[in-house]
Chains A and B, each alone.
Chain A
Amino acid sequence: MTMDAMITVQNLTKRYGDHVAVDDVSFTCRPGQVTGFLGPNGAGKSTTMRIIAGLTPATSGTAQLYGVDYRSIPNPATQVGVLLDASAQHAGRTGAEILRLAAMTMGIGTERVDEMLELVSLTPEEAGRRVRNYSLGMRQRLGIAAALLGDPKILILDEPANGLDPAGIHWMRTLLRDYADRGGTVLLSSHLLHEIEIIADDIVVIGGGRIVAQGTKAELLAGAGSRVRSLDDETLLRALTAAGIVARPNASGGLDVEADSVEVGRAAAAVGVVLTELRPADGAQLEEMFLQLTADTQREAPVLQGASR
């Protein structure tokens, strides 16, 4: 493993009987970076995160934090902040009480509880309410406060943006950006590409328990191919296909090509087709890639054309 990786998952596999929930998954998370763990529901994100936090035994492979298992870290919550399910709280406890219990266990002062409540914008009145009266967004904020309570170096957050409104997602991006900029490591999961795109630097895409793509956001965007329009799309499509390049017509006109601009330009020049537009694919293209990459494992077959904006 590379020593600068704070989270190292290596050949991790988790089987439930015949079902393989996590299948030979390997990735790393670096300090100073927000790593987005992207995949449809049931892809194995939560299982992987539970294994990292020592709550689920792995069938094979390892998930370590800077070379050690979570379970061998003394008072781990002061070094690794974990939010796995914001709703997994006693409905009859107040938000403040949940943080106080956690602070008591970790051995940190309760004044830190008030600071964290302020950080996640829960008012004293809200903190005094019982969690059964919380919206999902409030539970997520409370969960993030709990994860940050011990001033950890690593944050592991499962679907933390679930239930947050757009302003809340923006708030979380700023919070996690600041946290990563001061040297923290963040692994956060989402089933929504949009959230990951906003928040993450590195992206790990998982589908059906397997990693299907990983890299920096820039790499994945660049790897998503090109958009091209021309005066004769049909001829261009034939030329690209003949050159062994995968291309298909886009619903809004032009072609989506799984190759970079140079290759597309070269193919067009060879057959003398005039290009009117040629550019790297944008975020919508990444979404299409995400849908394609996970298409086999999606619970509902994605409608690719409709999904690309």
Chain B
Amino acid sequence: MTITDFRAPLPPSAGIDLDSPAIPFTRLVRVELRKLVDTRASFWLTASIGLISATIMVAMLIANRNTPENLDLGEFFGIMNIPTAIILPVLAILLVTGEWSQRTALTTFTIEPRRERIIGAKLATAMIAAVAAVALALILGVIGNGIAAVAYGDPAGAWELGSAGFVNSFVIQAFGLLLGFGFAALILNTPGAIVAYFALPTALSVLSELVPWFKENLGQWVDCTLTQMPFQSNEWASGGEWARLLVSAVVWVAIPLGLGVVRVMRSEIK
């Protein structure tokens, strides 16, 4: 259509068409993925995951030049996941709270007024980012390990990476990201959500120290530092450990996220 067509009469069906197709969920996810990289701030935050991982790879190669036994795939992969675990939750928080701090929620929820679908698309986008971050850590780990194998020779460059270690890394990443996401949906404010996310483990530790009853009874079920501990290894967690992780996820992820969705659905968008 050209500008002159702007003067052409509208179609005679003057009323509102209720039969036109809804916006597919996949399209909402694609738009949210695009938002991860379409401003300078969001681009560099997203890119920093790759940049920091690459920096770590180089730093590990240099720092361990006299201790090549420390260079294997598991080491590379494990250490690269540490900065990612800090950045991903922040990314997830900004994905949600950015709509409020930048006031773009007004446009977003006007184009798709079914707000729960936007939240769902953002959650899917955050999970895709987590999968991509873990995959990137694996790829860079393989590259770093390959370099170590060639440069330093045996014992550097062992390729063992158990599937347990891999799954555990992903579980930890996903847990942190969902935790951030849920707090973001509940608090709808960037600094508030970030502070709450980072203060929670400390607050629970302090509570454990001050209230022995909490430590002995509830702590092992709701203190997410404790429930995540078994997943910071290359061993499969036991059924009980999975159960504790799930309980802490319900308390710190499902409940805030559920309340947050209700809040977003009911709130006034200004």
Per the 8 Å Cβ criterion, residues 1-38 of B in contact with A are 1-3, 6-10, 14-24, 27-28, 30-31, 34-35, 38
Per the 8 Å Cβ criterion, residues 55-106 of A in contact with B are 55-57, 65-68, 70-80, 82, 84-85, 87-93, 97-98, 101-102, 104-106
A74/B21 in contact, CB under 8 A: yes
Taken residue by residue from 27 to 63, chain B's Cβ proximity to chain A (1 for < 8 Å, 0 otherwise) reads as 1101100110011111000000000000000000000
Which residue on B lies nearest to A101, using beta carbons? B31
In the assembled complex, how far is the CB of residue A67 from the closest CB belonging to chain B, in whole angstroms? 8
Which residue on A lies nearest to B14, using beta carbons? A31
Stretch of A178-186, A205-213, A282-290 at the chain-chain interface: A178-186
Return chain B residues, CB-CB under 8 Å to A184.
10
Stretch of B98-106, B191-199, B232-240 at the chain-chain interface: B98-106
B106/A85 in contact, CB under 8 A: yes
Cα A67 to Cα B35 with chains together (Å): 34
Interface size classification for chain B: 35 or more
Q: Does A255 contact B (CB under 8 A)?
A: no
Q: Does B110 contact A (CB under 8 A)?
A: yes
Stretch of A35-43, A112-120, A219-227 at the chain-chain interface: A112-120
Return chain B residues, CB-CB under 8 Å to A74.
18-23
Q: Does A53 contact B (CB under 8 A)?
A: yes
In the assembled complex, how far is the CB of residue B40 from the closest CB belonging to chain A, in whole angstroms? 6
A77/B103 in contact, CB under 8 A: no
A75/B22 in contact, CB under 8 A: yes
Cα A146 to Cα B30 with chains together (Å): 19
Q: Does A50 contact B (CB under 8 A)?
A: yes
Which residue on B lies nearest to A77, using beta carbons? B111
B14/A53 in contact, CB under 8 A: no
A97/B7 in contact, CB under 8 A: no
Q: Is chain B's interface secondary structure helix, strand, loop, or mixed overall?
A: loop
Using known A-B contacts A75-B23, A104-B30, A105-B23, determine if residue A53 contacts B110 with beta carbons closer than 8 Å.
Answer: yes
B3/A115 in contact, CB under 8 A: yes
Cα A181 to Cα B106 with chains together (Å): 29
Which residue on A lies nearest to B7, using beta carbons? A178
Taking a contact as CB atoms closer than 8 A, the residue among B39, B41, B110 that contacts A82 in the complex is: B110
Q: Does B206 contact A (CB under 8 A)?
A: no
Q: Does B209 contact A (CB under 8 A)?
A: no
Which residue on A lies nearest to B2, using beta carbons? A115
Q: Does B67 contact A (CB under 8 A)?
A: no
Q: Does B65 contact A (CB under 8 A)?
A: no
Taking a contact as CB atoms closer than 8 A, the residue among A68, A91, A98, A181 that contacts B16 in the complex is: A68
In the assembled complex, how far is the CB of residue A22 from the closest CB belonging to chain B, in whole angstroms? 12
User: Which of A89, A90, A118, A184: most chain B Cβ within 10 A?
Assistant: A90
Q: Does B113 contact A (CB under 8 A)?
A: yes
Q: Does B112 contact A (CB under 8 A)?
A: yes
Return chain A residues, CB-CB under 8 Å to B22.
74-75
Q: Does A141 contact B (CB under 8 A)?
A: no
Q: Does B109 contact A (CB under 8 A)?
A: yes
In the assembled complex, how far is the CB of residue A183 from the closest CB belonging to chain B, in whole angstroms? 4
In the assembled complex, how far is the CB of residue B240 from the closest CB belonging to chain A, in whole angstroms? 45
Using known A-B contacts A53-B110, A68-B16, determine if residue A88 contacts B103 with beta carbons closer than 8 Å.
Answer: yes
Q: Does B268 contact A (CB under 8 A)?
A: yes
Return chain B residues, CB-CB under 8 Å to A97.
38
Cα A112 to Cα B39 with chains together (Å): 22
In the complex, the 8 A-B pairs of residues with the closest C-beta atoms, listed nearest first: A92-B39, A88-B103, A55-B269, A74-B22, A183-B10, A66-B16, A71-B113, A90-B102
